Chain A
Amino acid sequence: MNGLFAVYRKELADYFSSYRFVILFALIAMVSFITSYMAGISLRESLAQDAKGSRFLFLMLFSTAGARFSMIQFVAFFGPLMGLFLGFDAINRERAQGTLVKIVSQPIYRDAVINGKFLAGATVITVMIVAVVLVIAGFGLTLLGVVPEVEEVLRLAVYVAISIFYVSFWLGVSILFSILFRSTATSALASVAAWILFSFVVFFGASAVANAVAPVEKEDVDLQTVMRNVRITEAVSIFSPMVLYMNSTATIIDPKVNTTKSLVLQGQWEQILSARFQSPLSLGQSLIVVIPYVISLVAISLICFAVSYIVFMVQEIRV
């Protein structure tokens, strides 16, 4: 591990002392604070009307959309920006200021540079997400007066782990761009473009593609076409890491969601079952539902990192 920890320590020190980190953290803390406050308010109101008291109240703090969107939607949409901001100039800034050659001419392996940077970024992401979740949790305790169950705490831990992977994927993407492009402005732009493409264009484009192939807007559509339409939408949108992330966190944070399939695609028995049994899934069962998405998310993160790794290792250090 020659040099890996040296690079890691330096990068971490750089992040924590940089304005970039302070601004990013302030922004994320502010938004998550507002969303959880909104969620808390609307939860309190609905609790007052419906005094039965449901389970997993604490988790609803994260999944309830107060005014605009919930905490998990916020992370799904803007979490990537966190990763992108941390990594878009990782390598090309070192190259531009002439420090990269100096570092790799020390007795370290070249991959120590990129591994150290990725690990430092992932650490910062972990710190941010954990901090934000803890803040919201503490906030919820005082606002709702509900103490989380053990299972809720476990579910939150799983949610945090998946979120860290999701944001780290985007960190990997931005590091890849910082290797590919010489200019930091270009790599920042490319990172944001990739984010918009995979988060929004694919997400909204999925239904457009589905409607083009299997139109459902016209009159007297048969069930076959509707099912095809939904299948295509799901197939296309799976290319969006955001969809993967939302699917994989859905049943974790909201135990009442007991499948990620849309209603049309469920078989007859499935529909009957899910209508009959409205009780929440256990944590183990929730994990089984989301595991394919989690694996895909981990896989694309690893693929992305592997590509950056290969490109960086074979790239000429000078040009």
Chain B
Amino acid sequence: METNSVITAEGLTKRYHHQIAVDGLSFRVKEGEIFGFLGPNGAGKTTTLLMLLGLSRPAAGSASVCGFDPQRKAMEVKRLVGYLPENVGYYSEMDAVQTLEFIADLNGMSRKEAGRKIHDVIELVGLGESARKKVGAYSRGMKQRLGIAEVLLKDPRILFLDEPTLGLDPDGAIRLIELVQSLNRQRNITVLLSSHHLHQVQRISHRVGIMIRGKMVAEGSIDELAREKFGVGDKEYTLEEIYMKYFQEV
């Protein structure tokens, strides 16, 4: 079954002070899938996400998100994509409702529309009881769930989640991952998930891409990658073993 790709990158390149962060990166993400975006620290994953959002200007190459060029049509892209940055920050003196009201305001929602949506997303991510607590008093898990609520507020077609489970306890991480999976299934939201927790990625991803030193060294379903490296399917090998194999080869 061939579905449309909602994200395509062709030869994306980014340099910081003559150091190459992203080096001719090309990949595709299909509509309605969860794409596991893997790679060691400093491989250029976050830079890639910023370029796909139009927040960073590539030195070369092109990208398309839902048919829009992020460099030219950043507004359209940002309307469709919910981005949860790594180590996202919050205004500690606001509570969850105020935080979401600000985000709704930035998205140009009317007060009435915002009020209803805020209620919905708070219930969805399970922050109902702490909605009026100051974010400064939140645990890390609660903050990440608030982050998910923020990105869901604009009814995104695509989610960019950059290390969403970093620093969460196992229980919190699993709940977050399950939330992402249910969003993908129920609302058909395409998810680009960057993470180091490979077993979690393996659990929910349809396809993965492994990015090392600015290049995509592998892209495909875990089964395909396992066959390519070991000659057997993913029943025999975990994503972790596949990842290490690629990593050692580079």
Chain A positions within 8 Å of B, measured between CB atoms, are: 2-3, 5-7, 9-10, 17, 94, 96-99, 101-109, 316-319
Q: Can you list 26 pairs linking A and B with CB atoms under 8 Å apart? A: A2-B75, A3-B106, A6-B102, A9-B105, A94-B89, A97-B89, A97-B92, A98-B85, A98-B87, A99-B88, A99-B90, A99-B91, A102-B88, A102-B150, A104-B55, A105-B53, A106-B78, A106-B106, A107-B75, A108-B78, A108-B106, A316-B16, A317-B50, A318-B46, A318-B47, A319-B16
B46-A105 in contact (CB<8A):
no
B106-A6 in contact (CB<8A):
yes
A98-B16 in contact (CB<8A):
no
Chain B residue nearest to A105 in the complex (CB):
B83
| The residue from A102, A104, A316 contacting B89, defined by CB atoms under 8 A apart | A102
| The residue from A2, A316, A317 contacting B108, defined by CB atoms under 8 A apart | A2
B78-A105 in contact (CB<8A):
yes
What is the size category of the interface that chain B forms with chain A?
Answer: 20 to 34
CB distance from B36 to the nearest CB of A (A): 21
- What residues of chain A lie closer than 8 Å to B50, measured between beta carbons? 317-318
Chain A residue nearest to B104 in the complex (CB):
A6
- What residues of chain B lie closer than 8 Å to A96, measured between beta carbons? 89
Assembled-state Cα–Cα distance A46/B93 (Å)? 52
Assembled-state Cα–Cα distance A274/B50 (Å)? 65
CB distance from B126 to the nearest CB of A (A): 21
| The residue from A7, A98, A108, A316 contacting B56, defined by CB atoms under 8 A apart | A316
- What residues of chain B lie closer than 8 Å to A99, measured between beta carbons? 88-91
A101-B88 in contact (CB<8A):
yes
Chain B residue nearest to A9 in the complex (CB):
B105
- What residues of chain A lie closer than 8 Å to B53, measured between beta carbons? 105
Q: Does B103 contact A (CB under 8 A)?
A: yes
Q: Does B187 contact A (CB under 8 A)?
A: no
Assembled-state Cα–Cα distance A9/B89 (Å)? 19
Q: Does B182 contact A (CB under 8 A)?
A: no
CB distance from A114 to the nearest CB of B (A): 14
- What residues of chain A lie closer than 8 Å to B108, measured between beta carbons? 2-3, 6, 107
A98-B55 in contact (CB<8A):
no
Chain B residue nearest to A112 in the complex (CB):
B106
B window 68-96: CB within 8 A of A: 75, 78-79, 81, 83, 85, 87-93
Chain A residue nearest to B103 in the complex (CB):
A106
Assembled-state Cα–Cα distance A9/B98 (Å)? 12
CB distance from A276 to the nearest CB of B (A): 62
Chain A residue nearest to B78 in the complex (CB):
A107
- What residues of chain A lie closer than 8 Å to B150, measured between beta carbons? 102
Assembled-state Cα–Cα distance A105/B102 (Å)? 13
Chain A residue nearest to B105 in the complex (CB):
A6
B55-A105 in contact (CB<8A):
yes
Chain B residue nearest to A113 in the complex (CB):
B106
A103-B106 in contact (CB<8A):
yes
B window 103-137: CB within 8 A of A: 103, 105-108
- What residues of chain B lie closer than 8 Å to A102, measured between beta carbons? 83, 85, 88-89, 150
Among the interface residues B16, B106, B150, B154, which one has the most CB atoms of the partner chain A within 10 A?
B106
CB distance from B58 to the nearest CB of A (A): 12
Chain B residue nearest to A100 in the complex (CB):
B89
- What residues of chain B lie closer than 8 Å to A3, measured between beta carbons? 106, 108
| The residue from B85, B93, B105 contacting A101, defined by CB atoms under 8 A apart | B85
Q: Do A98 and B89 contact each other (CB < 8 Å), given the known contacts A105-B83, A107-B79, A319-B16? A: yes
- What residues of chain B lie closer than 8 Å to A318, measured between beta carbons? 46-47, 50, 56
Assembled-state Cα–Cα distance A97/B85 (Å)? 12
Chain A residue nearest to B81 in the complex (CB):
A105
- What residues of chain B lie closer than 8 Å to A103, measured between beta carbons? 106
Assembled-state Cα–Cα distance A318/B107 (Å)? 22
Chain B residue nearest to A104 in the complex (CB):
B55
Assembled-state Cα–Cα distance A3/B74 (Å)? 14
- What residues of chain B lie closer than 8 Å to A319, measured between beta carbons? 16
